[in-house]
Amino acid sequence: MAFDTDLAGSPVGGASEERRSVGDLLICIDRAICVGFEDCITAAPGAFRLDAEGIATFSEPEGIERDRLLAACAACPVDALSVLDAAGRRILP
Ligand code: SF4
């Protein structure tokens, strides 16, 4: 499967990770890294939300335009959000 490894061949997706395919992107939230700063939510309201523990989870990223979604993922100050393209190449961070 295209989304199973990054460019270096490292596995993508641990027990703390949530993934969502959105168009040609695979977005991964590493919930072990997220510290709830909400920069991603500010950048793309509706794509992400904080759960009851104050950690980012998906909301409705399918409704967000691609460039805004990428900007939201790039905004994470601790690189908790990673993005792969359809070929499995890492776009962010
Ligand atoms: S910007 Fe990063 S640290 Fe902040 S809520 Fe989003 S994923 Fe978590």
Tokens 């703390």 map to which residue?
16
CA of 37 to the centre of ligand 1 (A): 5
Compute, in angstroms, the gap from residue 23 CA to the centroid of ligand 1. Answer: 21
What pLDDT is stored for residue 15 in this prediction?
74
Domains, the chain = 17-92 (3.30.70.20)
Question: 3-state DSSP call for residue 37?
Answer: coil
pLDDT at residue number 13 = 52
pLDDT of res. 2: 44
How far apart, in whole angstroms, are the C-alpha atoms of residue 81 and residue 56? Answer: 9
Bridge partners, 45 (sequence order): 48
In short, whether 56's Cβ falls inside 6 Å of ligand 1 is: yes
pLDDT along the chain (93 residues), means of 10: 43 76 98 97 97 97 97 98 97 96
